[in-house]
Every structure is written in C-alpha cells, then in structure tokens.
Chains A and B, each alone.
Chain A
Amino acid sequence: DQQVKQNSPSLSVQEGRISILNCDYTNSMFDYFLWYKKYPAEGPTFLISISSIKDKNEDGRFTVFLNKSAKHLSLHIVPSQPGDSAVYFCAASAIRSSGSARQLTFGSGTQLTVLP
C-alpha cells in the first residue's frame, strides 16, 4: 500500500513557465513533508520542506503548498529553468515518539523536463 503517491511519472514544461508537481498521501499521521531533487548518478538533494502547521512555504523559485484536508501537496517552480530537469521525489514523515528519528516515506518520483 503506497502511502505517498506521485501519480505523474513525467512532466514537460517550457522554460520560463511554471512547473507544478503533485503528491498525495494517505496516512493522516504524516506531519512533515519534503521535496527532493535527483539527478542521474547522484543522491537526492533536499529542496524544501513544510510542516503540517503551515499551508505554504517559499524558498526562492520553489514554493510548496499543503492541503491537509485533501491530503495533497504540490511543488511550484517559477520560473522553470533547463537546469531544473531532474526527478523530483516527495517524502513524508510522522514522528514516532518524542525525540525519535523520523522515517521518510517517499513517492515514486516525477521526471521533470524543462524545454529550452
């Protein structure tokens, strides 16, 4: 049972336009969400995160939106650049106990291609 789903395996966007990557989750215990970017032959790189007490977090060209009632989050990249072409993973975690580590549950990823 996939608790974190990225239903679009790929997305193509023109340079300068907005890229919107979507992620849905089923576990209502998740309270912290992250986006990672992965280039081939490299490990995932942390992009941006959001706590469940917020509905929006912004960092430069990247904004993450969280809709808790719909159990949905999205990553907006504006403006998109060719260097943004990569696989994007969303991840979610729930605190297990006080002071305990968080186990990340990842989606299957979305390949973003930004066309020049």
Chain B
Amino acid sequence: KAGVTQTPRYLIKTRGQQVTLSCSPISGHRSVSWYQQTPGQGLQFLFEYFSETQRNKGNFPGRFSGRQFSNSRSEMNVSTLELGDSALYLCASSLGRGTGDEQYFGPGTRLTVT
C-alpha cells in the first residue's frame, strides 16, 4: 500500500499571504488529521476530518481551516500568514474507527513564512 503523501514538501510564503497544503491518505483510510510541529512545541493537533466532516478541532485560530473530499483527500488552508506559522505541517491518516486506531503520518510540508 502506498503511504500518506503530502504536497508540496517545501513552501516559502510572505507574511499576509495564504497557503493551501494537500494530503492524500492511505487507501481505505477515511480519517485525516493535521498537526503542526515547531521546535520545542512537539506536535500540536490542528483538526481531524472524517467522511468530509470536521470531527475534532484543536486550539488554533480561525485562520487555519481545512476540508476533506469524497475520496478522503484533505487540504489545509492558512490565511493571512504570520511569521509564527513557519513550521512543519504533518497529516496523518487512519481508519477512523476509534479505539486502537493508529495514525500513519506523511513526510510533512515545511512552510517558511518570511
């Protein structure tokens, strides 16, 4: 099975711009979660989508949004970029059933905001 893929792998944007990141889950996985990783902060949960619906949301401002398509692919959008948004953005897919449901991560998109 192909793993989780994320595009693009690297991105440089300017403050105030917006950005869209894409994630294709493992075939058959219906849940996609997004995480932000910054130095010293570990991985912080952004949101989770299941069957095209946002099911869980972390403590991030409304500038961070996402969506999921009928084929389970997901996109994450960040509007009005700030310098502090520079981070590695990871998506993870899972079957989405709940208990014992391991998440499998993609390689991430490295976003740099200048």
Contact = CB atoms under 8 A, between A and B. Distances in A.
Given A41-B107, A43-B106, A100 B98 contact: yes
Contact residue range for chain B?
20 to 34
Contact of A103 (B45, B96, B99, B108): B45
Contacts of A107: 42
A80 interface: no
A11 interface: no
Contact residue range for chain A?
20 to 34
B56 interface: yes
Interface string A44-78: 11100101000000000000000000000000000
Contacts of B105: 36, 43-45
A105 B56 CA distance: 13
The 9 A-B residue pairs with the shortest CB-CB distance in the complex, in nearest-first order = A43-B105, A108-B42, A106-B43, A106-B42, A46-B102, A44-B105, A103-B56, A43-B107, A43-B106
Interface of B: 4, 31, 33, 35, 40-45, 48, 50, 55-56, 58, 90, 92, 94, 96-108
